[in-house]
Structure 1
Amino acid sequence: MGSNKAAVCVLSLVLCSLLAANTAAAAGCDASALSPCVGAIMLGGPVTPGCCARLRAQRACLCQYARDPSYRGYVNSPRAQSVVAACGLPRPKC
Structure 2
Amino acid sequence: MKLLGSSLAVWCVVVVLWAEVPVAAARLCSLEELSVCMEAVTGSEPPTSACCSKLAEQEPCLCEYLKVDPNLKQYVNSPAVQKVAAACNIHIPTREICDSTYSQEFALVPDWILG
Distance apart, 1:70 and its partner CA: 4.5
Q: 1:36 maps to what in 2?
A: 36
The corresponding residue for 2:78 is: 77
Contact 1:29/1:58 (8 A) holds in 2: yes
Q: What number of residue pairs does the alignment pair up?
A: 69
Determine if contact 2:41/2:84 at 8 Å carries over to the other structure: yes
Aligned residue in 1 for 2:48: 48
TM-score, with length taken from structure 2: 0.51
SS of aligned partner of 1:66:
helix
Amino acid of the residue matched to residue 31 of structure 2? A
* Gap runs ≥5 in structure 1: 1-26
Specify whether residues 62 and 44 from structure 1 end up closer, same or farther in structure 2 by C-alpha distance, changes over 3 A only: farther
SS of the residue 1:89 aligns to: coil
For the aligned residue pairs, the C-alpha RMSD in angstroms reads: 2.1
Report the structure, 1 or 2, having the larger strand content.
2
Could you tell me the TM-score, scaled by structure 1's length? 0.61
User: Aligned partners of 2:46 and 2:61: how far apart in 1?
Assistant: 23
Task: Identify the range of structure 1 (76-85 vs 42-51) with the bigger mean alpha-carbon deviation.
Answer: 42-51
Gap runs ≥5 in structure 2: 1-26, 99-115
Q: Secondary structure at the match of 1:28?
A: strand
Secondary structure at the counterpart of residue 58 of structure 1: helix
- Greater relative contact order structure (CA < 8 Å, 6+ sep): 2
Map of 1:89 onto structure 2: 90
How far does residue 30 in structure 1 lie from its aligned partner after superposition?
1.0
Equivalent AA in structure 1 for residue 48 of structure 2: T
Greater C-alpha Rg:
2
Aligned to 1:4: none
In structure 2, C-alpha distance between the alignment counterparts of 1:43 and 1:69, rounded to whole Å? 25
Identity of aligned residues (%): 43
